[in-house]
Amino acid sequence: MTVGFYSPLPPARTGVADYAAALLAELRRHGRVETAPRSCDVALYHLGNNALHADIYRRALERPGVVVLHDAVLHHFLLGQLEETAYVEEFVYNYGEWHRGLATDLWRGRAASASEARYFDFPMLRRVLERALAVVVHNAEAGLMAGRAVWSAGEADGGVGRRPGGLPHFSPRVVEIPHLFQRPEALPSESAVARYRQRLGVAPDAFLFGVFGHLRESKRLIPVLETFGELRRENPRMALLVAGDCISAELERAAAPYLDSPGVVRRPYLPEREFWLAASAVDACINLRNPAAGETSGIATRLMGIGKPVLLTDSPAAAGFPEDACVRIARGVAERESLRQSLRLLTLANGVAAAIGQAGAEHVRQRHHVELAGTRYWELLCEYCT
């Protein structure tokens, strides 16, 4: 059996590429896997919400295979790929003619798509789900979102879903495989971590929080920076590392005054080696998502995996993490106060951060290990081998 593996891979600067590289190596322990072959016995397509997935998306429509939804919302991907007329028609295809006016409004207001909930409420998954043999998601909420997309497609067809050619609407099998974690062969030494913190200008006894990855409005960067600034005036032994590139110029401008504040350390998107240095150097990771696209954060999984406490938005997508293995931050109007109290707890209560980090590491060891994920993927692919 030959598996065709279609995904961005390093050095592409995306979490999907890092995930795919780890999974590819693990799958090759089970059998023959080729990257982007012309033909194969079964294809594995990795789909996410940026332009790197454009050719993969098109191929997934042309030649059905097993689809991995790293984001359970492809709305933003399609906004970037389609012109207005095609976008409106695609929206109508997903949700019915009575939504044509809404589609036009969404297109005209697309500058706000990174933060406005309406763009996350309409995942636009119908076309790829119709063609997929099976769909892999990383959490139960993403599976429910895929199921709702199938239901919406039936509603769009007047209650009786139809595929092209008049065939009955196809509801693909949805399989949850938790986001994988691959521990580095060797984490940085304590001395290397100490030197890195010194290079960042962070005192040895400071409590260092970290925000990592591509910075977009939904990662709540401004509320994080504002809350950190308020608390640092009370406790100067706090520091915040912000490592990543802002997705939009508007967010960059809005964040600039805060990023230049005392205690805030700015780094660009980190290459793999420095990422693990920085991950080892922080005392806790802030990884919020609101609105969310049903994704499980690879950064959160990585930080948990090495025993760092992670602050997550309290959402259905994060429900799979045990209560004692992370810090949940409320959404909406309670977000600021929830974040404020959680930062205080971690910095002032002895042993709390370490205990949460240990619980997170144990959960990741049991549920997210790369060998477990690789075995489940391989078994699934074998079922659809032609």
Three-state SS sequence of 243-288: ECCECCHHHHHHHHHHHCCCCEEEECCCCHHHHHHHHHHCCEEEEC
Q: Three-state SS for 136?
A: strand
CA dihedral of 134, 137, 142, 148, whole degrees rounded to 10: 0
Report, at the CATH architecture level, how domain 2-74+123-180+370-383 is classified.
3-Layer(aba) Sandwich (3.40)
pLDDT tens for each residue of the chain, 386 residues long: 999 999 999 999 888 999 999 999 999 999 999 999 999 999 999 999 889 999 999 999 999 999 999 999 999 999 999 999 999 999 999 999 999 999 999 999 999 998 899 999 999 999 999 999 999 999 999 998 888 876 665 556 655 444 444 434 457 889 999 999 999 988 999 999 999 999 999 999 999 999 999 898 889 999 999 999 999 999 999 999 999 998 888 889 999 999 999 999 999 999 999 999 999 999 999 999 999 888 899 999 999 999 999 999 998 888 889 999 999 999 999 999 999 999 999 999 889 999 999 999 999 999 999 999 999 999 999 999 86
Q: Cis omega (within 30 of 0) on the bond before 291?
A: yes
pLDDT of residue 163: 45
Listed in sequence order, the residues at least 6 apart from 149 whose beta carbon sits closer than 8 Å to its beta carbon are 94, 123, 124, 125, 126, 129
Q: Are 293 and 141 in contact (CB under 8 A)?
A: no
Tell me which residue has tokens 């992670």.
310
- Sheet of 207-212, strand order: 264-267, 238-243, 207-212, 284-287, 310-313, 327-329
Amino acid identity of residue 248, one-letter, is S
The encoded tokens of residue 248 equal: 């939009």
In order of 20, 286, 306, 370, the CA distances from 1 in angstroms are 20, 42, 35, 21
pTM, 2 dp: 0.92
In degrees and rounded to multiples of 5, residue 383 shows phi and psi of -65, -25
- Per CATH, the number for 190-367 is 3.40.50.2000
Residues 358, 362: Cα–Cα separation, whole Å: 6
Cα–Cα nearest to 287, from 297, 272, 275, 302: 297
pLDDT score of 108: 96
| H or E stretch covering 69 | strand 66-69
Instruction: Find out whether the peptide bond into 11 is cis, omega within 30 degrees of 0.
Output: yes
| Strands 207-212, 284-287: pairing kind | parallel
Residues 6+ apart with CB under 8 A from 332: none
Q: Where along the chain do the CATH 3.40.50.2000 domains lie?
A: 190-367
